[in-house]
Amino acid sequence: MNFEQNETQKMIAESIKDFAKIHIAPNVNQWDESQLFPVELFKKLGEMGFMGVLVPETYGGAGLTYHEYITVIEEISKVDPAIGLSVAAHNSLCTGHIMQFASDEQKKKWLPKLATGEWIGAWGLTEHNTGSDAGGMNTTAVLDGEAYILNGAKNFITHAISGDIAVVIARTGAKGDSHGMTAFAVEKGTPGFTSGKKEDKLGMRASETAELIFDNCRVPKENILGEVGEGFVQSMKVLDGGRISIAALSLGIAKGAYQAALKYAKERIQFGKPISSFQGISFKLADMATEIEASELLTHKAAAKKELGERMTTIGAMAKMYASETCVKVANEAIQIHGGYGYTKDFPVEKFFRDSKLCTIGEGTTEIQKVVISRDILKD
């Protein structure tokens, strides 16, 4: 396995750094305070190809690999993890689901709009009473002639208000039946399809999170992705790839927090010398650097397996679990290194800390990752 960044990755990293310096960094605190979702920023990202990183060029995408995708998410998240989260959710969930399971006709209809940022995508699986237990969902889809009537609600949905299209998993069979759920693509403006309460969150505040509501929403049969009854199985496969996204997001947060802590430790003078010269601080930095390196290797190993078409459920869960727990730990230590200043909004580490916690929850909690990993290693 080649551990060096290829030329494309280096070019992407530099491109995002330049873009973020101009378009993201000056607005981070304002977006965070007001919980503003900057739609126009994502249009600009779309123009650069970052809203369709994995989408083939045939459908208007960049046609890059998961390694480049990790670079995109990581570099954005070093500056603002909330923007990194939204780019990840758009690419890996909504766009990724359509790319993997839609017909060619459906791909031609939706992917070019998503890949260029003309449309922003949402993905609806989670409900109020069914988080990890997705099979117990209450949202139903009942066949009525040439359409399905959807009723119910999804919550904690990224881009639920601003999204132009949502991939929604609804129950078409018995509750708890893994083959009793179906995936539908529902466009904004469809009668009976609305958004609800916007969540007031601890972190990731510039990434919009709200409800999707379906009230006798009529969705034509041609909007079914794949076959009836395949929705849950499709979702689990989408989440396999999605875990790489969250690992990359976590990696960006960890690196951003670490770099801020390293800089501060070298500049902060106490007892006549930089605090980095004290073992209590230097050992923290050593641990942070090592765990970031391990997270990066796990994440790219998962990406390599995904690119080769190999089963990567276990390594993906490992990467997501380890990288997300690492970013929380690194962000916490970064605040400790900053001391009292780390607890203020004058320094970036308090935001990295608030943003980091989502990574251990979203797209499968740490506990669920352990279930996935243990099930696989015991089976093997």
Catalytic residues: 363
Distance between CA atoms of 242 and 195, rounded to whole angstroms?
A: 23
C-alpha atoms less than 13 angstroms from C-alpha of 75 in its C-beta half-sphere: 21
Q: Are 249 and 328 in contact (CB under 8 A)?
A: no
Structural tokens at position 256: 């951003």
DSSP 8-state symbol, 27: G
**Torsional sign, CA 272, 277, 279, 283:** positive
Contact assessment for residue 181 and residue 169, using Cβ atoms and an 8 Å cutoff: yes
3-state secondary structure of 293: helix
Note the Cα 266 to chain centre separation in Å.
Answer: 33
Query: What is the rounded radius of gyration, in angstroms, for the C-alpha atoms of the chain?
Result: 21
Distance CA(202)–CA(98), nearest Å, equals 31
DSSP, res 341: G
| Cβ contact 224:172 at 8 Å | no
